[in-house]
Every structure is written in structure tokens, then in C-alpha cells.
Amino acid sequence: MAKNMTTKSLFSFEEDIIRESHEVLSKKDELIPREEYEKLLVRYERLFKQMQRILRISDRFQLELSLSNKDLEQLSTIDSLTKIPNRRHFNQTYEQEWRRAKREGNHLTVGMIDIDYFKKYNDTYGHIEGDNCIERVASTIQNSIQRPADYIARYGGEEFGLILPNTDIDGAVKLAEKIRSNVESLQMAHCLSDKGVVTVSIGISSEIPIQEEALMLELLNRADKALYKAKEEGRNRVEHRCS
């Protein structure tokens, strides 16, 4: 049906007025008929008012869209289960803190925290309990860090990433030990874990950033290797690794 029809212009009313105005003005030798022109003006004024309304309506939608964009942006950086930042946000924060530490010549410490025997926990207690476990560990970690700049994110499944700006390795080991002990103190039953309760292993590494990106990844890798060492050494412990 639509194919055979000529498209109706969005501005047919405006175009009518313009065309008729030209017609009125083209009557060269005659006086411009005032009444006719006044009628055109009334019609134009009405359309002008409409256009103002249309702009208000559009602005309103644009505002709403930009607000929901902001909401979405925020949602996209938060882990839906634990309500702490997700890996995407971790990466952003890590880059920022790296640059800041480099600028200020301060220590930057990162940590990798992993729930011990989590797969076995899931297999034994089910996925819902597994989710509960992740949630409780996440909030325990969050409650263990106190300085405003200290930062925790859910890095992956049962793994959390810690960023401690302006913290050397000694300070970081103390905080990591506190996290480890707070999780153990939850006394969440885990029959297949060495201690019979949920525990975490933590690997940390510290650096005063001097170089660029290569070292940035290297620092994370070292924390990861320290985490592996903590696992190998029997879990429920903190290990650190320096350059």
C-alpha cells in the first residue's frame, strides 16, 4: 500500500504557508491583501507554538535517555551478585591508580584473593549456597578494608582483586592477613576444606611504578603467582612476591 503513495511531507503545513506567502507577495502591481496575510500569520504562529512544544518534548526524552545511560553505566561496573565493582571496573581503577602512584612516586599494591576449594563447595552444597558463600566472603573482605582508597572488586567466579594505593608490602601483608582471618572466623561449614570451614588464599605484590604498561601487567601477574604459591603451600594463607 505504502509503495504506491507519495510520501507526505512532515512539514506540509509549513510548506503550504510558505507557498501561499509567496503567492501573496507575487501580486506585484496590487496592494498586498492585508487580510490574507494576517490569516497566514495566524497559521504560522500556531505552527511556531507547536514547534516549541515539540522541542520541549524532545528535550524531555533526551534528558530521560541521558539519565538512564548514566544508570546503565553504573550498573555495568557493578557485580550483580555481590554489589561490589566487577572486573571491568577493576581494570579501570587499576589503570588510574597505577598512573597516580607513578605520578606521586608511591607504592601500589595489588592482591588476588581466591576462595579455597570453591568448586568442591559448589558441588557439595549447590549453586545457591555457592552464591551465598561468594556474597558473604565479598562483604567480609569489604568490611575488612578501611581506608577510603582501598579497593576490592569481584575479579572472576570466586576470585577477588584488591588494590591498595600508597601501601607498601608490609602494610599490605597485614591487611591481607586480616582479610584471611576474618573469612576464617565466619566459620562457614565446608566439609571438604582442610579446616572444615570456608577459607581464602591471598597473593599480593607491590611496586613503585616507574615504567609503563609492561610492568603494570607484570604486577598483576606477580600477585597471581603469589596466589598460586599460597595454594601450593597449603591454602588459607597470604603469600607475597616481589620483583
Partner 1 sequence: MEHLIIEASKSTPAIHFDPEQHLLSIKGQSYPENSSKFYTPVFAWLKEYLALPYLKNIIIDIEMSYFNSSSSKILMNIFEMLDESAEDGKSVVINWLYQEDDDTSLECGEEFKEDISTNVIFNLVEIPATRFK
Which residues are at the interface with partner 1 (CB under 8 A)?
A: 1-2, 5-13, 49-50, 53-58, 60-61, 64
Q: Which residues pair with 201 in a beta bridge?
A: 114
Q: Is 7 or 243 the residue whose CB approaches partner 1 more closely?
A: 7
Task: Give the nearest distance from C-beta 214 to partner 1 in angstroms.
Answer: 45
Of 57 and 81, CB closest to partner 1: 57
CB 172 within 8 A of CB 240: yes
Smallest gap from Cβ 52 to partner 1, in A, equals 9
Give the helix ranges, DSSP H, for 168-236.
169-185, 213-232
Could you give the CA distance from residue 216 to residue 103 in angstroms, rounded to a whole number? 14
Q: Does residue 158 have an active-site annotation?
A: yes
Shortest approach of partner 1 to residue 75 CB, angstroms? 16
Q: Which of 186, 206, 205, 209 is nearest to 196 (CA)?
A: 186
163 φψ region: left (φ > 0), alpha (ψ -120 to 50), beta (else)? beta
Q: How far is the CB of 65 from partner 1 (least distance, A)?
A: 9
Closer by beta carbon to partner 1, 10 or else 32: 10
DSSP structural state of residue 209: -
β-bridge pairing 200-207 and 108-115: antiparallel
How, if at all, do strands 238-240 and 151-156 pair? Answer: unpaired
> Would you say 10 or 214 has its CB closer to partner 1?
10
Shortest distance, position 229 Cβ to partner 1, whole Å:
49
Q: What is the DSSP letter of 197?
A: B
> Of the listed 158, 159, 207, 239, which one is catalytic?
158
User: Are 203 and 230 in contact, with CB atoms under 8 Å apart?
Assistant: yes
What 3-state DSSP class applies to 40? Answer: helix
For partner 1, the closer of residues 55 and 81 by Cβ is: 55
- Residues recognised as catalytic: 158
